Chain A
Amino acid sequence: MVNESLQDKIKNEVVVLASSLKEIVDKFNKLQHPIVESHEKVPQATQQLDKISDQTEVATQKMLDTIEAITEREQDVLEGLKGIIDSDVNDTIKSEVNKLTEKVDANVNDAYSIMDALQFQDITSQQMDHAASLLEDIETKLNNIIVVMDGEQEAKEPVEKKVRAYDPHADVYDKKTNQDEIDSLFKQ
């Protein structure tokens, strides 16, 4: 009698355990699909970031071409205006030419200000490299999870990583140390 009761108890436990295992396997199978899907999408996100970076670089170079062309033309204009001032012209003309010279100078300075502002491209490109590098790490981890889920003994092909040189703290506006602090470090 005692043995039969024990057998029943064990049988019941095994049934519960089997049911739990089936539930775990079902959940595992349900999880597998979104993980595989995410794993496939991560490289697309990385490529997209690299594409933004590359296209911004090309656009910035075109802007630099234009700025250089403008400043060169404006230098020619300044030379021409200087020639007029140096020639035998009356004071009214000289005064007008001086006003034009000031405007051309302002144009040149504004063009250079645009050029200086284009430093953002290097900084945002580093930020995108950082984001892409984080995505590559996620891809590697998902890769490892999929290997375990598939019950494979050997790891899949390692994720191919682009060589990225970036500062993870690169920021256009937030400098952790200002120039005065840097100067005092170098004076010590």
Chain B
Amino acid sequence: MADLKILAVDDSPTMRRIIVNTLKRAGFNEVIEAGDGKDALAKLKAEDINFIITDWNMPEMDGLTLVSNIRGSEEYKKLPILMVTTRSVKDDIVEALKAGVNNYIVKPFTPDTLKEKINEILNA
């Protein structure tokens, strides 16, 4: 847990701050932030990221395109990805699943759910 470096991708500064705080409370102290998919891909190259938490609706590059980019990359295709988004329509969730996310949480989330899903992915 201590070695895990998480990339939190969300265009909302409020959400990023809440996610970072929640992660730190759960013992995940190394968290890098990105404001959209493009920024996330740049951070991915610059940092040694082990886990990604991403929103869906973002300007420049949305979360689904980010997931497709990561899954299509030889270097990062196995990175665990948790999507945290407001999109709760079943078809959207299935689309995210098909794009390759490892799990999915609908906002607003509870700290327990976030921690639980991260651990489920890490222990899978």
Contacts and interface: CB of A to CB of B under 8 A. Distances in A.
Contacts of B58: 165
Given A122-B86, A169-B89, A116 B15 contact: no
Contact of A177 (B10, B88, B111): B88
Given A121-B12, A122-B15, A172 B108 contact: yes
Interface residues of A, number: 34
A170 interface: yes
Contacts of A166: 57
A163 B62 CA distance: 12
Contacts, number: 95
Interface string A158-174: 00000111110111100
B14 interface: yes
Interface string B4-23: 00000011111101100110
Interface in B29-55: none
Interface in A119-164: 119-123, 125-126, 163-164
Nearest to B89: A176
Interface string B104-121: 111111110100000000
B113 A179 contact: yes
Given A119-B15, A186-B104, A165 B111 contact: no
Interface in B57-80: 57-59, 62
Nearest to B102: A186
A64 B57 contact: no
Contacts of A179: 105-106, 113
Nearest to A175: B88
A172 B10 CA distance: 17
For A57, A125, A164, A176, the residue with the greatest tally of chain B CB atoms inside 10 Å of its CB is A176
B110 A175 contact: no
A1 interface: no
A37 B119 CA distance: 57
Contact of A181 (B13, B87, B90, B110): B90
Nearest to A129: B57
Given A123-B86, A167-B85, A175-B106, A185 B93 contact: yes
Given A60-B14, A126-B57, A167-B56, A119 B108 contact: yes
Interface of A: 57, 60-61, 64, 68, 112, 115-123, 125-126, 163-167, 169-172, 175-177, 179, 181-182, 185-186
Give the 3 A-B CB pairs with smallest separation, nearest first. A119-B108, A170-B86, A122-B12
6 contacts: A123-B86, A165-B62, A167-B86, A167-B87, A172-B108, A186-B102
Given A167-B57, A177-B90, 17 more contacts: A61-B13, A112-B25, A118-B14, A118-B18, A121-B12, A122-B10, A122-B12, A163-B59, A167-B87, A169-B89, A177-B106, A179-B105, A179-B106, A179-B113, A181-B90, A185-B104, A186-B103
